[in-house]
């Protein structure tokens, strides 16, 4: 990509959005109530509460493990206090190891209404569902009274991911998102790209774009860790559908994934749960630290989306060539289709047709501008297609990470 290429917004005033102000100063573009199960044994009860509530603003999330690790606990805290979350209902079986009282207090300390139900203390399945529905109604009534405040583009955090990639992804949708990211960064927003396992071979290019030499070295080490992880585990981030769609090597896939980052300098390197402290472009390291012991770093695209949500992303730009229909709980997903043939088959699941670039109906810059405007619309309250279809996928598993060091953040930020 040509240095400085991107979608220009200099001829128009920066959009003024409306957001929900939280006690930590962040603002949300949604005001959802989450019902969070704290172990798989509480999943069914939680799901029934959400289903019977029959409200698009009530979302189901949770952690299935009976014994959480520090990563899972931190992720639950981050997600339950995400700026798009207005209230939380925690559902515990009662004998799992998740520290439910600490999580409840964390949410309440954030100024959000929060309640806890323990199935073993509430009389079992039916009575807990009934109690949950009553609490959901009370909290939804509270949220209905919430007022919005002015919100600027530079208060947004936007993530991006690619899933179901094919040979068109790296020449249409991904670089178009890169154009959009350049415009958002120019407007002061924080933009997050990830998939370090799909950036193998791009580490030196990214190091050259790093804001500091130290950050460049850390980025190279981050990708080397991902390469080592995959080598030990005996697999790479390359699915049969990628090959069927025309991709031939991991390096080829990596260059396509890399193009989503645009051409702005890389301001920082973060890990799941780290919120970007300023505007700019950030690389999210999603591969666990230490010796590989958890299997796949991310078992599905939605696991990566959850990690971006934990980093404060208000919404996610999801590019796909083969086709993907997933959305997400809490933060809207905007689907950008790379392949014009895929778009014809799955238009009802897509927000933007980047395949127009291949057919000559639009340029990269024009589609980048379309994605930028879609971001503004969704951030202003318009429903993305996956939201309108009711998609609320959520996956949280086990991982282990060490804290980031000072060289990972922009100068002057600790």
Q: Of 284, 395, 285, nearest to 329 (Cα)?
A: 395
Backbone Cα Rg of the chain:
21
Per-residue pLDDT band for 198 (boundaries 50, 70, 90) equals: confident
Alpha-carbon distance of 337 to 245, in angstroms, equals 13
Whether the pTM exceeds 0.85: the reply is yes
pLDDT at 12 over 50: no
Mean local confidence (pLDDT), 5-33: 78
Instruction: Collapse the DSSP code of 174 into the 3-class scheme (helix H, G, I; strand E, B; otherwise coil) and give the result.
Output: helix
Q: Which two tokens stand for residue 341?
A: 């043939």
Q: Which domains does the chain have, with CATH numbers?
A: 32-143 (3.40.50.2300), 152-408 (no CATH)
Run of H or E residues at 374: helix 364-379
Give the whole-angstrom CA distance, residue 222 versus residue 388: 37
What's the pLDDT tens digit per position in 84-109? 999 999 999 999 999 999 999 999 99
Count CB atoms within 10 A of the CB of residue 134: 12
Q: How confident is the model over 210-235, as a mean pLDDT?
A: 92
Distance CA 379, CA 368 (A): 16
pLDDT classification of 254: cutoffs 50, 70, 90:
low
Q: Which two tokens stand for residue 99?
A: 């520290």
Mean pLDDT across the stretch 68-92? 96
Tens-digit pLDDT profile for residues 374-393: 999 999 999 999 999 999 99
Nearest residue to 257 via CA among 185, 346, 161, 180: 161
Q: CA 165, 59, 116 angle in degrees (round to 5)?
A: 135
Instruction: Summarize pLDDT for 292-335 with one digit per residue, the tens.
Output: 888 888 888 899 999 999 999 999 999 998 899 999 999 999 99
Length of the chain in terms of residues written: 414
Chain mean position to CA 153: 18
**Which residues partner with 18 through β-bridges?**
150
């Amino acid at each position: 990509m040509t240095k400085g290429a991107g979608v220009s917004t200099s001829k128009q005033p920066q959009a003024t959005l409306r957001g929900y102000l939280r006690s930590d100063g962040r603002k949300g573009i949604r005001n959802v109530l989450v019902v969070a199960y704290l172990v798989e044994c509480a999943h069914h009860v939680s799901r029934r509460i959400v289903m019977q509530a029959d409200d698009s603003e009530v979302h189901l999330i949770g952690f299935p493990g009976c014994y959480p690790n520090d990563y899972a606990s931190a992720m639950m805290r981050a997600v339950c206090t995400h700026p798009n979350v207005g209230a939380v209902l925690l559902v515990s079986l009662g004998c799992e190891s998740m520290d439910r009282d600490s999580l409840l207090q964390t949410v309440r300390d954030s100024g959000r209404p929060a309640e806890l139900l323990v199935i073993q203390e509430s009389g079992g399945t039916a009575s807990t569902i009934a109690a949950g529905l009553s609490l959901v109604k009370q909290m939804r009534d509270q949220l209905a009274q919430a007022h919005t405040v002015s919100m600027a583009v530079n208060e947004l955090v936007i993530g991006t991911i690619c899933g179901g990639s094919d040979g068109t992804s790296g020449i249409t949708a991904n670089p178009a998102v890169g154009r959009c990211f350049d415009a958002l960064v120019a407007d002061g927003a924080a933009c997050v790209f990830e998939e370090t396992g799909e950036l193998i071979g791009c580490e030196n290019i990214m190091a050259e774009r790093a804001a500091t030499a130290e950050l460049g070295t850390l980025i190279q080490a981050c990708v080397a860790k991902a390469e080592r992880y995959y080598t030990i585990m005996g697999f790479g981030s390359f699915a049969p559908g990628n090959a069927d769609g025309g991709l031939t090597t991991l390096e080829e896939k990596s260059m396509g994934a890399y193009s989503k980052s645009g051409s702005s300098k890389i301001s920082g390197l973060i890990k799941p749960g780290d919120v970007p402290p300023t505007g700019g472009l950030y690389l999210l390291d999603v591969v666990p630290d230490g010796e590989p012991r958890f299997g796949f770093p991310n078992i599905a695209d939605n696991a990566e989306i959850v990690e971006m949500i934990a980093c404060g992303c208000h919404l996610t730009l999801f590019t796909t060539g083969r086709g993907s229909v997933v959305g997400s709980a809490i933060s809207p997903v905007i689907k950008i289709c790379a392949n014009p043939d895929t778009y014809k088959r799955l238009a009802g699941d897509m927000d933007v047709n980047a395949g127009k670039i291949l057919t000559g109906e639009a340029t990269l810059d024009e589609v980048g501008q379309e994605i930028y405007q879609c971001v503004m619309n969704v951030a202003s309250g318009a429903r993305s297609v996956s939201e309108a279809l009711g998609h609320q996928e959520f996956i949280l598993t086990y991982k282990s990470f060490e804290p980031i060091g000072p060289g990972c953040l922009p100068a002057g930020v600790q």
